[in-house]
A and B are shown apart, each in its own frame.
Chain A
Amino acid sequence: MKKIRKYKWFWAWQDEKEEAWLSEMAKQGLHLESLPFPGIYEFRKGDPGDYIYRLDFQSLQGKDRESYLQLFDDAGWEHIGDMGGWVYFRHLVNGSEIPDIYSDLESKIGKYQRILVALAIFLPIMIFLTHDSEGVTRFGSWFIIVELLQAILYLLWAFAMVRLFLRINTLKKKNNESS
């Protein structure tokens, strides 16, 4: 069976864009098979199909993870793979009803809160790994390129957190209006 590799980057706040892209690929007969590395997608070439893709965010281990995946399997969601906390699922579309992994806004908000917490936890770890105890970068200050890349990385990190924070707020507002 023919495997096709695609390179594409989605940021943490672009999960819905990524889901739409994967559905679009499926319509062209490219079905996600595995996620070998961040930004790399492996597809299996087959017949075009109408699939809904959904990305959940979980950090479950052991039996919790098993029962979680089993529940999705029971409900008709095929688990494809994981990448950095993201769990990839797909569901065949039958008729007009569009299946989803969350049926209310509250639980959907919970997903984005988990992403935000994960980003908040990893930020100090990242800073710790790149700086020594005096707060000087481990690479030496003459290494201006590394400094610059680091600054960009922190900015992106902060930007991702702001985007997720705004998304959560929008969903919360929507939730208050509907309840």
Chain B
Amino acid sequence: MAQTSTDKHLPLTEATFYILLALVTPKHGYAVMQEAEEVSQGTIQLAPGTIYGALSSLEKSKLITMVGTEGRRKIYQVTELGKHVLRDQIHRYQIMLENSVNESDLWAANTTEEGVS
């Protein structure tokens, strides 16, 4: 794979992926928590200390930026760089998906292979 500016940010952790995905539209921290939990079908549950740290470090690495406030809340959104990182991560997921087999095929492969009982 060619060296691009997004490589040093990849692969994203599952939590970071959902945080960036949620911030395609502007949101404050708690809204990110709720959205991540909802779209990940409950597999990602972020605690406030964790999300606060994640937002700060994503802002530092310029993947997201503050676009406004709502009371005392900071509103963040992904930057162009953040979108490119998301796109490249999604591309990685697509490759993984292409390499995936159905659950039933997993066990079917076992029986034809030698040395596996």
CB within 8 Å of B: which residues of A?
Answer: 56, 63, 66-72, 74-75, 77, 99-104, 107, 110-111
The total of chain B residues at the interface (CB under 8 A) is 20
**CB<8 Å pairs between A and B, sample of 28:** A63-B74, A66-B72, A67-B69, A67-B74, A69-B72, A70-B71, A70-B73, A71-B29, A71-B48, A71-B51, A71-B52, A71-B73, A72-B48, A74-B73, A75-B47, A77-B48, A99-B47, A100-B47, A101-B47, A101-B48, A101-B49, A102-B47, A103-B15, A107-B50, A107-B53, A107-B54, A110-B53, A111-B49
**B47 contacts across to A, CB distance below 8 A:** 75, 99-103, 107
What separation, in Å, do the CA atoms of A148 and B3 have in the docked complex? 59
Q: Is the CB of B46 within 8 A of A67?
A: no
**A72 contacts across to B, CB distance below 8 A:** 48-49
Tell me what chain B mostly uses at the interface: helix, strand, loop, or mixed.
Answer: helix
What separation, in Å, do the CA atoms of A101 and B33 have in the docked complex? 12
What separation, in Å, do the CA atoms of A80 and B10 have in the docked complex? 39
CB within 8 Å of A: which residues of B?
Answer: 15, 28-30, 33, 45-54, 69, 71-74
**A99 contacts across to B, CB distance below 8 A:** 47
